[in-house]
């Protein structure tokens, strides 16, 4: 089996998903600047994991991480990997390329893009764009979770070899009876995700359907401001904040909710969107390129237009939408299937 080193956030549920599948096919090691989740430790042997347990800036340009280059290099010497797979281009990807160049290692680099490292960071200034192009240009393979992001990668590095596949879900969950009045939002409480617009539109929708309920999960720096908005609009009986949820708690709400709301200004393929669709939730999403790869307005979901009035259609049509979404995920959104194709490409490198 190929010796394969992941460099990423060992506490991230997304990286856990990668680790859980890759360990089936590769001799897997992990280096993390942050803590390692208990779940990750179940899949990778402790002697194959190294964690600095440090908080680093995930917005790119993490020059403070260079102080740890010696430690990462020692771990690379210990592993002697054939492939190094950094997750998040402008931090871990920079480290992987820099060390390879400094120490002239022969390992191949597979850089995995997560969204803002390609869609946001390179646009901040010339230096960020130059660093991103440098990393992409020195990667043997790049993974992208949407064709929209792949196009951006190619625009930055025309000769890049990119493999496009969504993070996907582990399996198609069982079908359950839905609450026709339950809406769910679980994106971060940050400006990009427009939770305030969701709340304002929901307040208007309650004039049409007073039985509607909205559950808002996750956390972020706008939480207090959003709670004040709910209080001002007198929505306490219909809108509930539940904070950060465990996987099982989130799955339970997906299974009961009829509608899932995600309206970021900028995003790649959202794992939570695919999770919601796998449970048959009808997505109400922003009309951005990554969402258009999964949602056709009026066919299996709706584009958000500052209102929820367009969702008032018959129960029979809603049920057809729910079944259609489950079928879409079954056909192209199962993670185990997608990772097998990725592994096949790895062994051909």
In this structure, is residue 117 part of a structural domain?
Answer: yes
In this structure, is residue 127 part of a structural domain?
Answer: yes
Q: Is 87 helix (H, G, I), strand (E, B) or coil?
A: strand
Confidence of residue 312 (pLDDT cuts 50, 70, 90): confident
In this structure, is residue 174 part of a structural domain?
Answer: no
- The chain-wide mean pLDDT, for the chain, equals 92
**pLDDT score, position 64:** 52
Three-state SS string over 99-166 comes to HHHHHCCCCEEEEECCCHHHHCHHHCCHHHHHHHHHHHHCCCEEEECCHHHHHHHHHHCCCCCEEECC
- Both 38 and 151 in one domain: the answer is yes
In this structure, is residue 100 part of a structural domain?
Answer: yes
Residue 253 has pLDDT above 90, yes or no: yes
Percent of the chain having pLDDT more than 90?
Answer: 81
Instruction: Kindly report the CATH number assigned to the domain that includes residue 284.
Output: 3.40.50.2000
CB 223 within 8 A of CB 247: no
Percent of the chain having pLDDT more than 70?
Answer: 96
Q: Bigger pLDDT: 52 or 205?
A: 205
In this structure, is residue 173 part of a structural domain?
Answer: no
**pLDDT score, position 230:** 96
Distance CA 317, CA 80 (A): 56
In this structure, is residue 328 part of a structural domain?
Answer: yes
Q: Is 240 helix (H, G, I), strand (E, B) or coil?
A: strand
Residue 151 has pLDDT above 80, yes or no: yes
- Both 204 and 156 in one domain: the answer is no
Helix (H) or strand (E) holding 289: helix 289-292
**pLDDT score, position 65:** 54
- Both 130 and 221 in one domain: the answer is no
Tokens for 258, please give them. Answer: 């009829």
- Both 340 and 306 in one domain: the answer is no
Global pTM exceeds 0.85: no
**pLDDT score, position 280:** 97
State the residue for tokens 């490409």: 345
Summarised one tens digit per residue, pLDDT across range 316-339 is: 999 999 999 999 999 999 999 999
Q: Is 84 helix (H, G, I), strand (E, B) or coil?
A: strand
Residue 232 has pLDDT above 50, yes or no: yes
Domain region containing 296: 179-332
Mean pLDDT of 246-273: 94
Confidence of residue 214 (pLDDT cuts 50, 70, 90): very high
Distance CA 135, CA 126 (A): 14
């Amino acid at each position: 089996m190929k010796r394969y080193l992941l460099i990423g956030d060992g506490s991230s549920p997304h990286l856990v998903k990668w680790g859980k599948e890759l360990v089936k096919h590769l001799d897997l090691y992990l280096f993390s600047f942050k803590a390692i989740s208990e779940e990750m430790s179940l899949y990778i042997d402790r002697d194959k994991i190294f964690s600095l347990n440090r908080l680093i800036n995930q917005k790119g340009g993490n020059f403070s991480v260079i102080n740890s280059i010696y430690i990462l290099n020692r771990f690379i010497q210990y592993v002697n990997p054939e492939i190094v797979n950094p997750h998040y281009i402008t931090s871990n990807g920079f480290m992987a390329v820099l060390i390879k160049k400094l120490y002239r290692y022969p390992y191949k680099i597979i850089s995995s893009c997560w969204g803002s490292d390609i869609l946001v960071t390179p646009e901040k200034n010339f230096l960020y764009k130059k660093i991103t192009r440098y990393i992409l240009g020195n990667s043997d393979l790049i993974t992208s979770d949407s064709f929209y992001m792949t196009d951006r990668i190619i625009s930055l590095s025309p000769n890049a070899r990119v493999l496009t596949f969504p993070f996907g879900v582990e399996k198609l969950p069982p079908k359950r009876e839905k609450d026709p009045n339950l809406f769910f939002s679980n994106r971060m409480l940050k400006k990009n995700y427009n939770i305030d617009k969701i709340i304002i539109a929901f307040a208007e929708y309650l004039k049409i359907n007073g039985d509607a309920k909205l559950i808002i999960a996750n956390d972020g720096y706008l939480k207090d401001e959003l709670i004040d908005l709910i209080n001002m609009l007198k929505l306490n009986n219909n809108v509930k904040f539940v904070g950060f949820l465990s996987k099982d708690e989130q799955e339970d709400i997906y299974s009961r909710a009829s509608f899932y709301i995600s309206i970021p200004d900028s995003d790649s393929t959202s794992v939570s969107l695919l999770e919601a669709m796998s449970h048959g939730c009808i997505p109400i999403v922003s009309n951005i390129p990554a969402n258009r790869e999964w949602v056709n307005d009026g066919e299996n979901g709706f584009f958000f237009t500052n209102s929820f009035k367009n969702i008032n259609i018959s129960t029979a049509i809603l049920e057809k939408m729910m079944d259609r979404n489950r079928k879409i995920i079954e056909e192209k959104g199962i993670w185990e299937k997608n990772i097998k194709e990725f592994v096949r490409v790895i062994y051909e490198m």
